[in-house]
Amino acid sequence: MFVDEARITVRSGAGGAGMVSFRREKYVPRGGPDGGDGGKGGSVFLVADPQLSTLLEFRHRRRFLAGVGERGGSNNCHGKDGQDVIVSVPSGTLVFCDDDLIADLNEAGKQVLVARGGRGGLGNQHFATSTHQAPKFAQRGEPGEERVLDLQLKLLADAGIVGAPNAGKSTLLAAVSAARPKIADYPFTTLEPQLGVVRIDVDANFVLVDLPGLIQGASTGAGLGDTFLRHIERTRVLVHLVDGALEPAAALEQLAMIEAELRAWNPALLDKRRIVALSKLDLPNAKLTYDAVAAAVKSPVFGISAATGHGVRHLMDEIYREIKVDQGQVDQGRPLHVVLRPRAAADRAIRVVKEDRVFRVLGERIERLAAQTDFQSDEARAFFERALVRSGARRKLERAGIRPGDTVRVGDAEFVFS
């Protein structure tokens, strides 16, 4: 089964808590704090795997959880880091989060971090000072991230065959590659894209994709067009195959219909290199149809017969030549049609927002510190209040009109201002 869309949930591991411990050895009085740091939580990565061709696996497994970091130990022992999770997806997968495109895994082996593991908490050894030599608090581990990701597969192929149902697309693919698509004399025999490798020479080949037939209204959902049209957006060359069994007028009408559907789906498709070919040239009336199409199209039209092999080799050579020309233009800096939208950078500046009678402090670093602070500990709470002063958050709270007894929220933490 071919599946090209999936929704998954990924969650990174929380960091391990730091340790509160003191060195206790014979003949070493007042050994001082030696609590180790907690381990880092595991992260979740997506990696493009060229051996995969469908997102079917994610129909059965939708949640991916990374390992959590272990707690720090005494004697300055660091906790064990959580295990990362690497999720393999087909090459050509687009990754969306909240409708924003965050990654395009269009190269084999390309990897993207989608959920970062939480930092481990610091042990009490880090909080010892000349005036506070025996701190009895440590940091908690930073929580992990959870994200819902939408995966969308766009097949990676060098050339794509488009045309109406029964135009001979599957027959052509079977004649030039080892692919064995289903071939029958009724519409929509092809229900999903079919890939085949066309070998031109010993070290020259390209990937050809056969898409289900397009009918009028395909760009808006008629037939199977809107389901699979996205797969030709990555191709370098489009092969527009016209049914040679049609009468000349019907063939021209079919040609115009396919062009209109491509334009309606994505106007950029018409900017691709396009080759027009007429199939079934071995039929008695196909020559008249070929002459009509050749007269209507400005570029050369290739007449082929997959049954006899006439013109097929010439067409494949032309496709390969156009692919190489397009590759050269892309390498020289021609903009691609798919543009990644980078994620917004986290706001590091401290801001204070009043929500009814609650004052919320916003800022990446201060929110992370709050998540790792144990507010049940008097020493830890005092350390956090000093951090508010150092960061300038306390001054901004006072300017916002805060009074003793008001509630302050930093991330998920909440405490009373004093």
Domain count for the chain, please give it: 3
**CB within 8 Å of 267: residues ≥ 6 apart:** none
Q: Which region, left, alpha or beta, applies to residue 30 given φ > 0 means left and ψ of -120 to 50 means alpha?
A: left
Confidence of residue 340 (pLDDT cuts 50, 70, 90): very low
Mean pLDDT of 218-240: 69
pLDDT value for 342: 42
Q: Are residues 190 and 137 in the same domain?
A: no
Q: What is the DSSP string of 24-81?
A: -BTTBTT--B-PPPPPPPP-EEEEEETT----GGGGT--EEEPPPPPPP-STTPPPPP
CATH number for the domain that contains residue 373? 3.30.300.350
Q: Are residues 253 and 227 in the same domain?
A: yes
pLDDT tens digits along 106-152: 888 899 999 999 999 999 999 988 888 889 999 999 999 999 999 98
Q: Which of the listed ranges 13-17, 206-210, 336-340, 386-390 does the model predict with the highest average pLDDT?
A: 13-17
Reply yes or no on whether the pLDDT at 186 is more than 70: no
pLDDT tens digits along 280-290: 888 888 889 88
CA–CA distance, 93 with 47 (Å, rounded to integer): 10
The answer to the question of residue 341 being in a domain is no
Q: Are residues 144 and 292 in the same domain?
A: no
Distances (CA, A) of 240 to 23, 203, 259, 279: 77, 26, 9, 10
Mean pLDDT of 171-176: 86
The residue count for the chain: 418
Reply yes or no on whether the pLDDT at 345 is more than 50: no
The answer to the question of residue 338 being in a domain is no
Q: Are residues 126 and 263 in the same domain?
A: no
More confident residue, 246 or 28: 246
The answer to the question of residue 95 being in a domain is yes
CA–CA distance, 219 with 209 (Å, rounded to integer): 19
Q: Choose one of 153, 172, 191: the last residue of a domain.
A: 153
Mean pLDDT of 356-380: 88
The answer to the question of residue 389 being in a domain is yes
**If residue 194 lies in a helix (H) or strand (E), which one and from where to where?**
strand 194-201
pLDDT value for 225: 56
Q: Are residues 287 and 378 in the same domain?
A: no
CATH number for the domain that contains residue 147? 2.70.210.12
pLDDT tens digits along 309-319: 888 899 899 88
CA–CA distance, 123 with 34 (Å, rounded to integer): 8
3-state secondary structure (DSSP) of residue 269? helix
3-state secondary structure (DSSP) of residue 101? strand
Reply yes or no on whether the pLDDT at 219 is more than 60: no
Q: Are residues 311 and 182 in the same domain?
A: yes
Distances (CA, A) of 52 to 10, 57, 108, 387: 20, 10, 10, 49
In the DSSP assignment, the letter for residue 343 is: P
Mean pLDDT of 219-231: 60
Q: Are residues 313 and 355 in the same domain?
A: no
The answer to the question of residue 78 being in a domain is yes
Q: Are residues 390 and 299 in the same domain?
A: no
Q: What is the 3-state secondary structure (H, E, C) of 345-375?
A: CCCCCCEEEEECCEEEEECHHHHHHHHCCCC
Q: What stretches of 60-181 adopt beta strand conformation (E)?
A: 63-65, 85-90, 93-97, 100-105, 111-115, 146-153, 159-162
pLDDT value for 175: 86
Distance of CA 47 to the CA centre of its chain: 9
Domain enclosing residue 27, as ranges: 5-153
Q: Are residues 201 and 309 in the same domain?
A: yes
Structure tokens of 225?
């067009």
pLDDT tens digits along 32-62: 899 999 999 999 999 998 888 788 889 889 9
